């Protein structure tokens, strides 16, 4: 996996903060076979994504292998204001993780 990137765009629309996140991850299902070696490519996927705002977990996503590669996620929540910081982090099945913060615009 090249870079563990999380790109976040967060914007206020009236009183709702709309968050869009794009993560770099192979999200390998474990069902594909390497055509050259004939061996199955092991599963490698994000299991959990957490979004925090002011110490509160606004959303916790539990993912299986069926989420697409380089996953996209969008959700909305209230109680935020322009200028607030939100944090998105993920953990995968190999123990790797990544985190990123963004300011709500």
Q: Looking only at residues 55 through 84 of this chain, which bind other proteins when binding is defined by CB under 8 A?
A: 56-69, 71-79
Q: Looking only at residues 11 through 30 of this chain, which bind other proteins when binding is defined by CB under 8 A?
A: 16, 29
Q: Which of 9, 2, 1, 26 is nearest to 88 (CA)?
A: 9
CB of 16 to other proteins, least distance (A): 7
Q: Please check whether residue 28 is in contact with residue 40, taking contact to mean a CB–CB distance below 8 angstroms.
A: no
Q: For the chain, how many residues are written? A: 105
Q: How far apart are CA 98 and CA 56, in angstroms?
A: 18
34 binds other proteins (CB under 8 A): no
43 binds other proteins (CB under 8 A): no
Q: Please check whether residue 102 is in contact with residue 22, taking contact to mean a CB–CB distance below 8 angstroms.
A: no
36 φ, ψ (degrees, to nearest 5)? -80, -45
- Residue of the chain from 9, 32, 82, 103 that contacts other proteins (CB under 8 A): 32
Q: Contact residues for other proteins (CB under 8 A)?
A: 16, 29, 31-33, 40, 47-48, 50, 56-69, 71-79, 89, 91-97, 99
């Amino acid at each position: 996996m090249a870079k563990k990137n999380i790109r976040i765009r967060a914007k206020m629309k009236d009183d709702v903060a709309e968050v869009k996140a794009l993560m770099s991850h192979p999200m390998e299902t474990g069902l594909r076979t390497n055509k050259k070696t004939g061996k199955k490519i092991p599963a490698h996927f994000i299991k959990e994504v957490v979004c925090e705002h002011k110490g509160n977990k606004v959303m916790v996503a539990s993912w299986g292998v069926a989420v697409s590669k380089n996953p996209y996620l969008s959700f909305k929540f209230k109680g935020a204001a322009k200028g607030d910081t939100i944090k998105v982090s993920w953990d995968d099945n190999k123990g790797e993780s990544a985190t990123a913060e963004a300011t709500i615009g």
